[in-house]
């Protein structure tokens, strides 16, 4: 057995620390490599919280399940254009406003020199 392996057995805390080490968590919009799915979810959640509304309230008004809306807000589920429109209606915010906020956050993240460029279609 090498010294390195022996040291790991003598200090189980060191092994656990090596196994359980997690990278620091950044807010989603601070990452210039962020995808659109989590960004849309972040914008929807921010708007809902700004309105002081619950997930249940918005999900009910949009006729989507509460677990699904929660997953969308956390960036874990893709949202179709029809459901995004329904959630925007429930939040009483135009779809274009949600998309503009996404673009603003992408631009803010790209100013750090990531090379991300946004082009109008």
Q: What pLDDT score was predicted for residue 16?
A: 44
In a domain, 115, yes or no: no
Cα–Cα distance, 8 to 1 (Å, whole number): 11
Q: Is residue 22 part of a domain?
A: no
In a domain, 72, yes or no: yes
Sequence-distant (≥ 6) Cβ neighbours of residue 85 within 8 angstroms: 95
Model pTM score: 0.65
Looking at residue 98, which CATH number applies to its domain? 1.10.260.40
Whether residue 3 is contained in a domain is answered as no
Q: Residue 82: how many CB atoms within 10 A of its CB?
A: 8
Judged against a pLDDT cut of 80, whether residue 17 lies above it is answered with: no
Quote the pLDDT of residue 35.
Answer: 84
pLDDT at residue 93 greater than cutoff 80: yes
- The Cα 33–Cα 27 span in angstroms is 12
> Is residue 78, in this structure, part of any structural domain at all?
yes
CA distance 34 to 105: 10
**Which pLDDT score is estimated for 113?**
44
Quote the tokens at residue 81: 């254009």
Q: Count of domains in the chain?
A: 1
Domain annotation covers residue 16:
no
Domain that holds residue 85: 32-106
């Amino acid at each position: 057995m090498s010294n390195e392996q022996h040291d790991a057995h003598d200090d189980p805390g060191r092994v656990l620390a090596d196994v359980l080490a997690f990278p620091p968590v950044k807010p989603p919009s601070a990452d210039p490599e962020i995808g659109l799915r989590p960004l849309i979810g972040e914008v929807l959640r921010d708007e809902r919280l700004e309105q002081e509304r619950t997930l249940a309230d918005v999900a009910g008004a949009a006729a989507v399940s509460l677990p699904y809306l929660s997953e969308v807000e956390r960036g874990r589920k893709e949202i179709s254009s029809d459901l995004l429109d329904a959630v925007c209606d429930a939040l009483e915010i135009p779809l274009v406003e949600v998309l503009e906020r996404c673009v603003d956050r992408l631009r803010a993240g790209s100013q750090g020199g990531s090379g991300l460029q946004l082009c109008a279609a």
